[in-house]
Structures are given as structure tokens and as C-alpha cells.
Structure 1
């Protein structure tokens, strides 16, 4: 018997472990799903051209979708009304009831499936992004695909410790005209609003949410600076500089808008980037390249289109005003009449030098392909220029000495700073993303972002539940018998608890009770 028992135990353990592994594989296996491949994103697709001037985005209850790079009409969608928005909120609220009962393993399986789908259909998704926004596939890879996968990876690795994400039916898509937006932002059933957009609209969202005391996270505008320190290797970082400015044609929350450089290095910076900016080619990535057409085309598209032309007049006015005040326009500065796509929304890649902090163009968010160069004479002046706007979203510091870079980074008023880089604070979805000042408040991504979507619940109990129970000492029981003795008791206990802590109370880590 002595020899048989260990063998039996081993057999049982092997069976348990094997069964557990098989169960885990079954529960965590990736589901096979079929993604939607819209014909507008297929090679060779041609649509009818939009009218000129461009129609309103929303009119007569319809949302008009246009490819910004070509002017092709993509589709016309039915806009949501206040009634349909209310219905969608109700559906999401009802779905949340069953969602609460799902396990983390079920949610992990969903996230793995979503990640596998993105990786499998990466090219299709890039094509959709190109057609929908006019950007290039490279911009889509950086802006949408890579960051989404990074967010999924981080959540899969850390979500069980912090927060579980949503499953089917919790996500509702609302597309509506501005006059119906408050049906969403003023609804009491909405527990949290995360808004990404301009500071003007962000204020309106916050005002609409305030009467219901709805929690909000606002990621608003930016005027991100890049402080270039003396001795920086401009040739080495030139490619970084160009990508930081012209990624997605400057329509980029993490893009750099102001290049703050030592005065004696200004011309060197200009000479490093000017010819490369002049050579940038704009076009439709789906119609002017081999990637999009799958034909033997050698054309290169560096930059896509702007999302629309609504701000072209303002951009041209700001540039003209800066030139009148002494700035030098070395490249671009106006809308681009594309020879092949006259109905596309293009703006010339622009290089503007000798910009000062008093110019409007140095203060207002551009969200456009404009490379602004500002000169400084001292490190403190560089910091003052960097902090000298109402915004405080992201920033970069470039230099050859780590201590100098850190010293400047610590003094920048912003939510994120990247040393000798740009945008890594966004690509790494394990880090909190957000800003300060007029760039908003709160964070998304990282543990701070996920915890911001929860309601923390504190819980206490006696350390020995059955044998030690909290009671009220007679000397402080109501009605109080002797006020002097009551004070002596409470004051002495306060001093004791301050010195030694609460001996009979178990301390708990915060419990983040509910996803909102």
C-alpha cells in the first residue's frame, strides 16, 4: 500500500492538471469571426465625386461620408435622433446587467479574438482608415492598428488586476448632428464620458454633464512643443522631426506643433529639414500607390489629405498674419490644388521660421502640416516658450545630455513628455494619456485610465469576525453621561490610534467595484 498510494496520487494530480489545461484551452481559445470588408476599401474601387462646394457633413437627417483624399462619395448614413440615442443607451444599460456576471476568462477570450482579428485583417483595416480619413496606410498603422493592439496587449496582461473590458452589446455607435448630442451627454444613465476633441467642444460636453454630476475625462487640444537643446544632433533626429510634424498631415494628438531651437542652431535646423519638406508628395494612398491599386505603380505618397477644408481659410490667415509680423515662410503656406484630385482636401506641407510667442499662430492649435520654428537664447527662455500657451498636452525634449533633458522635462507643464522621441507615451498604452490646463483633465489608457472607469468601494470588517466585534464604549454611548470623561476617552484613543494604527481592523486594497 505504501508503494501504491504515491502512484495513485501522482495519477490523480496528472489528471487534474491535464483536465485543467484542457479546460483552460477551451475557455481561452480564440473564436473565429468574419470581418466586414467594405467594397469602398477594395483595390480599384471608384465612387462618384462629391458636389462642389462640399456638402454639409449632416443635412436632412443624413450623414454624408466622403473620402477626403479623392472626393469620392463613400456612403450616406441615417443620423441618430434623440429618440434613437435614448434607445441605444437603454440597450447598453441592459447589456451591462449580464456583463457583470461574466468571468475574466470569458473577457480575455473576447480580447484575444479581437486582437487576432485585427492582426489577420490588418491590411483591410488600413485600407478602411485610408478611405475614411484620407490618411496613408503608414499613418493608419501608427495611429490606429499599433495602438489598438498595444491597448489589447496591456489589458490582457493587466486587466484582471485592474478592470475587465466590455463584451458584445455594451458598445453602441451613435452618429448624429450636433443638436442631438446632448441626448447623450445629459442622460443620467451615462456613468462616464470620455471626450476627445477641441477645447471648445470639450467645455460644452463638461457643461452638459455637470447637472447630472456625470464623471468626465477630457482629452482636448494641444500645442505640443519640442525643445531642442544645444548640441543636439540635428541630422540624426531629422527623420523624427518630420514624422512628429507631418504624421497624419498634422492631425495628430501627439504631433509636435512648435520646434524651439537655440538661435545659433536655427539655420542648421532649417537647412536640415527644408528640402525634405519641399519634396513631400500628397495624394490618395489607395489610388496613387501600388498598395492601394495592386497595380505596378511606382508613385510614392508621403502625406494624405486633411479630413476637410473647414479650417483652410483660418490656417492661411494665421500664416499670412505671422509673415506680416516678421516670420519667414520658406515652404507651403496655402491649400493645395491637387492635379489629380481637385476635390480632395489638401494643404501644402509648410515650414515657417522666426515665429515668436506673441504671434497667434504660436498660440492657437493648428492640427495641420505646419512646421513652426521658434528660437531662444537661454534654456529658461525655451522653457517659458514651451509653457507659454493655454495648452499642456504632450511635449518632447531633444538633447545629447540626459541630465539636461530631464531637467527641462521636469519643468514642462504638460501631461506627457518624451525625451529624444515623440509619441511613445501614446504608442505605449500601459501609460496614462492626457494633459493639463486647456488640454483637459483625467487620463485614458494605463491603470489610471482604466480605474477612472470604475467606482471604488471601501469595505471594512473586524479582523476576527466571530470573536471580536466592534462596540461603542459606555463612556461615549448616547445619551452621554459625563462630557469630560467622554472627551478624555476619545482624545486618548485618537492619540493611540494615530501612534499604533487600528489594531482590530483589517486593511484592504481598494476594490474597484463596477465598470461604468
Structure 2
């Protein structure tokens, strides 16, 4: 068992309280490490370090900052095997997906490095003679990155890359349940970046997280997490008018119309619903299937779900690993029980696994639910687990109406060959991201953002880059 310290001002230090918390392997509940339970004092020290480092960091050219980030990405890939195995051990994701996460983290950082020459201002004509108006992009200063546990390393890379290339520094707060890969990233950062540019702290959200958000040193907070936590962050940031970017919960609708490629739609519905044990914000969680293809689609979809193998995430033949922790597991049990009470039918799975190799750990069967209404909790609330509910619809109009009748608006899917229907979905589906005839998985040069209660701001591409800088306007009068 390893014991980690926090990374503050280029040094590895324990919490000022000397308290720690255990990190468990969700596959067997074994303690694999301890990490510090930080205090408000620790958060303030990290912020002060970031503020001091930002003065020098922001004076570097963007190209020089990009050189640092390229080196960080290269060094990260040298640790790919170690980091992937650690991600699987602490989070329970399949080892193949863990390798993808490490590679994706390096891509996020490399893409940010390439953005050194993409940071653009504007020159405008003035109404005043012999004058020009210039709008510059400038850093906020100290930023805070709050990470969640489903993709902790990738989220760290996604946030720190854009923050650093635009001249900010960042304090990262990895999730208590899965902080180890981010701390290992800190060891690489220690070798590559100037001290204080990145600080890493762990602790309770209502203590160290609250301090990071409320402290006036913090100028921007970026969070990937639940809508409930996002609301807390929104309120906590209000006193200082701190800028926020929130990527929150989702309840993605998966619409299949009568002219869809049913084989493709069914296959991708399985992948989009059960990858990472359903613990992806863009997961397919509720399906609206046209009546003319409902039976054919469901037969193929259910057959695909029944072929999924639950087991050791280190085994390359496994399709679904454990849930992240006991609270997440219990939530699924409660939601399925309530759905049954309300009249829903469980046609595949629906149970916690507790026998044999599943005697320890947090295991839940891949589950398919039918006979639901759009007002059931299982349709309206994010499960964040291997559960997909399906409804038969009479028309595309009904599918759109039901899909939009939800407080979330992160992502959605549509499978059809009709360009008119695709255009209607683009214009009418109330989500920030639409997957047309494909599975989930955003790209680094796109833009990942939600609407409604799925968040504000966003990540990736040129629009994600813009979020990490603010504008300064200069009226330059060159007349005599």
C-alpha cells in the first residue's frame, strides 16, 4: 500500500491536519493507498503558490509554454503502462479503456500545446480618427480544476492544458475515490514544469473544495461532476463573481427511427450504454425506438447486452467492470427497485452481483428496462451505471417531445438516414452535443458542453480554449 502526499509549491507535503483517507480497489474493496485529507489551510497554500508562479508563467511566450506542455505529454506516455494499470486498479475501468485514457490525456495536453499559435485577439476600426481598437486575450490568473472519478487523468489533462497555454496556473483537486493517477501525473509535472504552475490537493469537497472555490485568489473554476455539486459551486463562486465552467450530469436520449440501420444502431446502443460500466456523462441511458422497428431493434440490442461479460477489469475479455463505490452501487439498486414498483419491467439483469468472484467489490449486472413512462425516475434521473431503459414511440415528433422533456441537456443520439430528420434533430433536440449515426465519444477539436442543468461553459477545441482567457480592450490613439 502506497501513501501519497499533496503536491504544493513543487514539494510533496502531508495535510496540515496529518489526516489521510484510504483509497479502495472497487473490484475487491482492498485498500491500495492513502491520500491526504487536506484542510482550508492547505488549499490556501496551494492557491498562494499558484498565484506567485503565475506572474512568471504568464510572461513566457505562448510558444514556450507550449514547449513545456509537449514535454509533459511525451513524459506522460512513457508511463503509459503504469498509469493505465493504476487507473484500472483505483477506478475499475477496463484496462483497454485505461490505456485509451492515458493516451487521451496526452492528446489533450498536446492539442493545448499546439494552440500556442491559435490564441487570437482582434483589431477593430474606431469611430475616432487616428485610433484603433484592439482586443487582447489575457489569462485570468489562478484557476481551479475540480475533477470527477470516471476519467480523472483525462480530465486533468483536458483542463490543465488549456489553462496553462493561455498563461494561467492551476490547482487540481482530484476525486478522493480515484486520485492516484493524478498524483502520479504530479510526479511527472514535478520533473517538467516550474514549481507552483500546477498544485494538487485532496480533501473533502465541503472543506478544501469550498476553500478553493470561495477564495478570492481563484479567478476561474472548472468542474466536471454532478449537477448537485455544480449547483454548490455556482453558489460558492457567486460572492467573488468567480468565472465558472461546469460540465455536469446527463441523461442522453437515444432515438432510433424507422429508416435506421438497425444492426448498427443496436450495436452502438450497447457500446454507448455500457462502456465504463455506464459511468460516462454521455452514456445512452434512455432509448426512444420507433414502433415499426422496435421489436427488431430490441431483439438485437438485448442479444448484445446478454453477451456482455462482467468481471475482472484487467482481463482483456471483460466488457464491464465494477461500479466505483458502494454509494454508487446502492443508488442503482434503489433506482431499479423503484422502477419495478412503478410498473417497469426488467428484461435483462437488474441485480447486484454478490456470489463467487463478485463476493467482494461493487458489481451490478448490465440491465435493460422496458414498460416505462417518461415521468419515471429511471427515465428522468441520471443512473450513471449499466442501465438502459427503452420506450416505443409512434413518431419522430413524439421522440423529440419525450427526449426534450428532461432537465438535462448534455448529449443525445439519433439514428436515421433521412436528412430532414437529422436537420430537425440538430435544430430541435435540446442538448449541447448530438451523435448522428454513431456512438458517443467527443473529439479534442470539437466542443463538449451541455445546456439546461448539464452545465455552462465547456471544454475542447477553440471554444474550450477561449474559456480560459478573458478580454482586454485597448483604444490606441496615435494622433498628434
Give runs of aligned pairs for residues 415-426 of structure 1, distance below 5 A. Answer: 415-424=432-441, 426=442
Indicate the residue corresponding to 1:136 in structure 2. 94
Of the three residues 381, 404, 422, the one matched with 1:405 is: 422
2:411 match: 394
Match of 1:85 among 38, 43, 46: 43
Taking the aligned partners of 2:306 and 2:348, their CA distance within structure 1 comes to 7
**Which deviates more from structure 2 when the two are superposed, residues 185-194 or residues 408-417?**
408-417
1:223 aligns with 2:269: no
Shift of 1:99: 0.3
Q: Deviations over 1:202-243 (max 9, x none)?
A: 111111110111111111111011111112122123321111
The aligned counterpart of 1:148 is: 105
**CA RMSD for the aligned pairs?**
2.1
CA distance in 1, matches of 2:331, 2:69: 42
Whole-Å Cα distance in 1 between the matches of residues 31 and 435 of structure 2? 39
Aligned to 2:213: 185
In the TM superposition, what is the alpha-carbon distance from 1:170 to its structure 2 partner?
1.6
User: What secondary structure is seen at the aligned counterpart in 2 of 1:458?
Assistant: strand
Deviation digits for residues 154-180 of structure 1, max 9, x if unmatched?
323333222725544221112112331
SS at match of 1:276: helix
Partner of 1:509: none
| CA distance in structure 2 between the partners assigned to 1:351 and 1:63 by the alignment | 36
Name 1:242's counterpart in structure 2: 270
Does the 8 A contact of 1:254 with 1:422 survive in 2? no
Deviation at 1:101?
1.9
- 1:372-420: CA deviations, max 9, x gaps? 1112111111001111110000111111223322222321111111111
Over residues 42-80 of structure 1, what are the superposed CA-to-partner deviations in whole Å (9 max), with x where a residue is unaligned? xxxxxxxxxxxxxxxxx9932210010122211112211
Alignment of 1:32-71 (within 5 A): 61-71=19-29
Which of 160, 169, 172 is the aligned partner of 2:199?
A: 172
Q: Tell me, in whole angstroms, the C-alpha distance in 1 between the residues paired with 2:70 and 2:250.
A: 34
The farther-off stretch of 159-168 and 433-442 is: 159-168
Question: Could you say which residue in structure 1 is the equivalent of 2:116?
Answer: 159
Distance 1:146 1:406 in 2: 34
CA distance in 1, matches of 2:241, 2:229: 18
Correspondence for 1:113: 71
Unmatched 5+ residue regions in structure 2?
4-16, 120-161, 170-192
Q: Report if aligned partners of 1:68, 1:134 keep a CA contact under 8 Å in 2.
A: yes
Q: 1:128 to 1:450 in 2, by over 3 A?
A: same
Deviations 1:265-314 (A, max 9, x none): 2221221021221232222223xx3x6xxxxxxxx211111111203333
CA shift in 2, pair 1:125/1:60, >3 Å = closer
The answer to whether the 8 Å contact 1:397/1:409 transfers is no
Which one has more relative contact order, counting CA pairs under 8 Å at least 6 apart? 2
Distance 1:325 1:113 in 2: 55
Note if contact 2:288-2:399 (Cα within 8 Å) is conserved in structure 1.
yes
Q: Once the two structures are superposed, what CA deviation does each residue of 1:191-212 show, in whole Å capped at 9, x if it has no partner? A: 1001111111111111111011
Pairs within 5 Å for 1:248-327: 248-286=276-314, 289=315, 300-327=317-344
Counterpart CA distance in 1 for 2:36 and 2:324 is 20
1:366 aligns with 2:383: yes
Residue 239 to residue 121, structure 1, CA distance change in 2 (3 Å): farther
Query: Is 1:439 matched up with 2:397?
Result: no
2:337 and 2:29 map into 1 onto residues whose CA distance is 27
8 A Cα contact 2:422 2:436, kept in partner? yes
In 1: Cα distance, 2:265 partner to 2:78 partner: 33
Give the TM-score taking structure 2 as reference length.
0.78
Tell me the secondary structure at the aligned position of residue 311 of structure 1.
helix
* Aligned pairs, number: 396
Residue number in structure 1 paired with 2:83: 125
Contact 1:395 1:422 survives alignment (8 Å): no
Number of the residue aligned with 2:180:
none
Report the CA distance between 1:324 and its aligned residue. 3.6
Tell me the SS of whatever aligns to 1:260: strand
| TM-score, scaled to structure 1 | 0.73
Please give the alpha-carbon distance, in whole angstroms, between the structure 2 residues aligned to 1:317 and 1:378. Answer: 32
